[in-house]
Amino acid sequence: MARISRLIAHVDMDSFFTAVEVLDDPSLAGKPVMVGADPRGGRGRGVVSAASYEARRFGVHSAMPVSRAFRLCPRGVFLPGRMERYQEVSGQVMTVLSGFTPVMEQISVDEAFLDLTGCGRLLGGPGETGVKIKKAVKAATGLTASVGLGPNKLAAKIASDLEKPDGLVVVAQPDVGVFLSSLPIRRLWGIGPKTEEALKKKFRVATVGELAGIPPERLEKEYGLMGRYLHQRANGVDDDPVGGDEEAKSIGRETTFDSDTSDQKQIHKTLVYLCDRVAGRLRASGAAGRTVTLKLRYESFETHTFRQTLAAPTDVYREILELAEMLFQNNYMAGRKVRLLGVSVSNFSDSPELGLFDETGKNREKQRKVELAVDKVRGKYGKRSVLRAGEL
C-alpha cells in the first residue's frame, strides 16, 4: 500500500527565555544574557538554563555550571528567570500554532510539532507555510522562531536547528536518509555527547551516513533496543505520529519526589519502579504500545516530555526501562534538581507483533514469560513480593 507522504513542521523559539527577557527589557538587546542560578561572583552553584546568542559567542551554553559561565563571560547579564512569564508567552505561541492545524504536539515550553499533511491547499507549499508560521509567531509575540519542515518528525526537528536563529529549512528530499547523510552524528535526535563519543570510538563513524551503513545487528548487539533505533534514525526512518489526543490513550505512572533531587541513583531507582509498574499494568489490561514517554519536571516546575517510538509494540519492562533511561540520559540537564518523573506507554497498536522470529523477538518472548511469572507471584503475594534489582 502506497503511503501518503506527510508534511511535519517543528517550531522552536530562538533562545526563548533570554528572548523574553530582552522583549520585556529592551535595554538588554545585544548583550550577553544568561538565565539560571545566581553566579555569586563565580562561586555560585547550579547551572545556566538559557544563554542568548551573544552569550554563546563567549562559549556559554545551557546546562553549563554557572561558575564556569561567569569565568567565560564575567560582564554578562545574569538573571534568575521568571518561569511564569515564560509560560505566559509560551501559551501565546501555542495558541498561534494551533491555528494552523489541530494535530499538534507541544514537546516543551518553546517547541512543538505540527502535522500539516493535507493543508497545502490552504497554506501553500512547505516553504510558504514555514514563512507564514514564523510571521504569525512574530506578530503575536514579537519573538522569532526557527522552523523546520519535512516528511517526518526526525527531519523537521533536525531542520529547525540547522539555521538558528530565525531559521527556515525545508527538507524537500523525500528520502530523509539522504538529507541526513552528510551531517555529523551529533545532529541525530537522541544522540547525546556520551553516545556520540562511544559511537566514534567503537565504530569510527563521524557522519550520519557512515552510521547508516553499519549493519543493524552490530548496533543492536552493542546497544540493544537503542541500537535498532540508531539504525532506523540514521537511515531517516521515523513514522512517529504527531501526538494530539494520544495522551488519552496511554497507560502511565508518575511520582513526585519527597524532596527534589539530582541524585542519579535515586532517579534510576524511580525509573525502575515506574517502568515495572507500567509494564505490569499493560500486561494486566492486555495492551502493548509502541511509544514510551518520559515526563520530567524540574524544581522550577519547568516540565518536559520526551518520547520515542519502537518498531513493535511492547509490554516488556526491560524494553520500556531501556527507552526511559535513554530519554532521561539524553535530555536531562546535568545538575538540575528533579521534582517529578513519569513514564507512560501509548500508541497502542493492533498490528501483528513484528520480528517474533528474529533474535530480538525471541529474547523479548523469553523476557515476557519471566515477567508474566512475576505478575502471577505478585497477584498472589502482593506487589512488593518481587522487587527489581534497581529498587533494592
Q: Which residues of this chain interact with Mg ion, rule CB under 5 A? A: 12-13, 16, 110
Q: At closest approach, how far in Å is the CB of 310 from Mg ion?
A: 27
Output 16 or 78, the one with its CB closest to Mg ion. 16
**Residue 65 region, left (φ>0) first, then alpha (ψ -120 to 50), else beta?**
beta
Neighbours of 341 (CB within 10 A): 22
Contacts of 165 (CB under 8 A, 6+ apart): 14, 15, 53, 144, 146
Q: At closest approach, how far in Å is the CB of 93 from Mg ion?
A: 10
Q: At closest approach, how far in Å is the CB of 384 from Mg ion?
A: 42
Residue 241 near residue 348, CB atoms below 8 Å: no
111 is a catalytic site residue: yes
Output 12 or 246, the one with its CB closest to Mg ion. 12
Q: How far is CA 151 from CA 191, 205, 349, 359, in A?
A: 21, 26, 22, 31
Which H/E stretch holds residue 36? strand 33-36
Q: At closest approach, how far in Å is the CB of 110 from Mg ion?
A: 4
- Classify burial at 229, counting beta carbons within 10 Å of its beta carbon; exposed 0-12, middle 13-18, buried 19 or more: buried
DSSP reduced 3-state for 360: helix
Output 10 or 283, the one with its CB closest to Mg ion. 10
Cα Dmax for the chain: 67
Q: At closest approach, how far in Å is the CB of 204 from Mg ion?
A: 32
Phi, psi at 25, each rounded to 5°: -140, 85
Output 16 or 332, the one with its CB closest to Mg ion. 16
Given 21, 54, 105, 111, the catalytic residue: 111
DSSP state of 287: -
Residue 45 near residue 37, CB atoms below 8 Å: yes
Output 61 or 281, the one with its CB closest to Mg ion. 61
Enumerate the active-site residues: 111
